[in-house]
Amino acid sequence: MTTSTTIGGTSTTVSQQLLDTMNGTNASSSASGTSGTSGTSGSDLQQTFLQLLVTQLQNQDPTDPMDSSQMTSQLAQIDTVSGIQSLNTSLSSLSTQLSAGQNAQAALLIGSTVLAPATSVSVSGGAATQIGVSLPAAASDVQLTITNSAGQVVNSVDLGAQSAGNVPITWTPKDANGNALPDGTYTIAATATVNGQAASATTLAASQVQSVVQQSGGSAGLALSNGNTVPLSSVAAIL
């Protein structure tokens, strides 16, 4: 049932629903819990507050007027709520547009060869697919180890000091004695030394983009010919 409250000496009445909304004691909202959000948006609260404010100003006691500082503070709080709500809407729209743009950009890579995180390299006809190393920080020394399918280390390449970032490597598939390695798939691993401490290093290998897939977070992923699926952001180079 809707009730009313008298304000001021002129017996002006204000809807109880209006007062409950401003005081956060709306009975119907409390009872329903999740029944809806009508009338609780930033703009709705702002309009309700202004209605109550105008009523109070019209019926205030001239000998004891309203505190202007409190009124200004309340107006600022309501305006902030409305502003944050508008900002959230804008950011949500921008996020959707960025995701759509990223998917379109990823689709253009289908059929292209990219340098992306991988732990293996293919050797065919005496030539190896291009490889590389990604370093989180500048390293005083970087070592690349190549292992065959039997788990034997066939070669180790000292890359020396390298700057932070992606480092492309041109590797001739030969063992430690200079003999050509047979065709097949080899495992690659890299270690780095940063400030005298062992640091992680991510190996990269060239592979062709076969398709674009949507990952769990909604971002675009690239399905590669080597069987790996990598985020678009992890592509080190387009070859």
Could you report the per-residue pLDDT of 119-136, keeping only the tens digit for each?
A: 999 999 889 999 999 998
- Which of these, 239, 212, 208, 211, lies nearest to 225 by C-alpha position? 208
Contacts of 143 (CB under 8 A, 6+ apart): 156, 157, 158, 159, 190, 191, 192
- Higher per-residue pLDDT: 108 or 75: 108
SS3 42: helix
CATH placement of domain 113-238: 2.60.40.4070
Could you report the per-residue pLDDT of 82-106, keeping only the tens digit for each?
A: 677 777 777 776 666 666 666 777 7
The residue with tokens 């063992």 is 175
Could you report the per-residue pLDDT of 59-80, keeping only the tens digit for each?
A: 777 777 766 676 677 667 767 7
| pLDDT above 70 for 147 | yes
Q: What Å distances lie between residue 35 and 29, 93, 103, 107, CA to CA?
A: 7, 26, 37, 42
- Report which residue type is found at 39: G
Could you report the per-residue pLDDT of 195-215, keeping only the tens digit for each?
A: 888 888 999 999 999 998 887
- What mean pLDDT comes out for the span 16-38? 49
- What percent of the chain has a predicted confidence (pLDDT) above 70? 72
- Report which residue type is found at 203: T
Q: For CATH 2.60.40.4070, list the domain ranges present in the chain.
A: 113-238
